[in-house]
Amino acid sequence: MTAKHHAGHSILETIKTIVYALLIAGVFRTLFFQPFWIPSGSMKETLLIGDFLFVNKMAYGYSYASCPSVRLGFVGIDIDASDICGFLDGDNSRILGSEPERGDVVVFRHPVTGTDFIKRLVGLPGDRIQVKNGVLHINGTAVALQDDGAFQEVMERQGPMGSYPRCENAPVGQGAICKKSRQIETLPGGTEHAILNIGNQGMDHTGVYQVPDGHYFFMGDNRDNSSDSRLPQSAGGVGFVPFENLIGRADRIMFSSAGRSMLFFWTWRSDRFFKGIE
């Protein structure tokens, strides 16, 4: 074999290796775990901007939403999950489907925009959901709440988008402490988690939402800074989420960075590595 043929063979083998690796990664991402980076503060303090986790896709079975979307704007690639697995869309069912539980932290596709969201599941099919004076009511009964001090963070730009936190003690200057009231909420079934409040907001007072069959109702733990099921899709919110739009359950934080980039090692939050999500 000549040197030229040897070089050509090596290049071909390299290309084949890359293709195989991409195929294996694609299958792994589709069937088992999907990486997810927390871009906003809607789930504080459970999830912070810069938390990195893997979504368990096996938890609820598979639907068209289980297929990955590939968006690489800089090279003009925009492939949506529905473009790949659209043949599974439409009947609101799942393959090897398993019902989610109230209190799960779930990644799902927005029913209109297709954007991936992560929120806490508070309403099951058939439930009546209402928020009165900032307190979640399920089927006419208020959830248990216990005051638990305040959540504190520094008033500074957070994450790649450089957004500032909202504070109960506003106005707060750059570098000062931003505070939010913290409570421990206990859902029916016993799930306990922290929720944060800033003050009296419009979404603290809602009508009654009747969750349709095959749909779910989600809310962010950072109650006054979350676009969720309290706002209907016609008004730019999430509304009721179909069963087939669930992607998977968030179980554990793998890595966390408080900086604008994960490469800024001095901003890593080592106390959040491998932390379970409750």
Non-local (6+) Cβ contacts of 250 within 8 A are 36, 47, 53, 55, 56, 105, 106, 107, 118, 277
- Is there a contact between 113 and 120 (Cβ–Cβ < 8 Å)? no
User: Of the residues 40, 42, 229, 256, which is catalytic?
Assistant: 42
| Residue pointed to by tokens 């793998």 | 254
Known catalytic residue at 132: no
Give me Rg for the CA atoms of the chain. 21
Cα 84 to chain centroid distance, Å, stands at 22
Active site residue 42: yes
Give the other-Cβ count within 10 Å of 92's Cβ: 13
φ/ψ region of 11 (left if φ > 0, alpha if ψ in -120 to 50, else beta) reads alpha
Tell me how many degrees the CA angle 42-46-47 measures, rounded to the nearest 5. Answer: 60
* Angle (nearest 5°) at CA 152 between 151 and 154: 150
Measured CA to CA, the distance from residue 87 to residue 189 in angstroms comes to 36
Virtual CA dihedral for 41, 104, 30, 20, nearest 10 degrees? Answer: 70
Nearest in space to 212 (alpha carbons), one of 246, 236, 241: 241
From CA 119, how far away is CA 239, in angstroms rounded?
Answer: 12
- Residue listed under structure tokens 């294996």: 24
Question: Six-digit token pair at 21?
Answer: 């690796």
Which entry of 44, 57, 119, 180 is annotated as an active-site residue? 119
The residues that are catalytic are: 42, 119
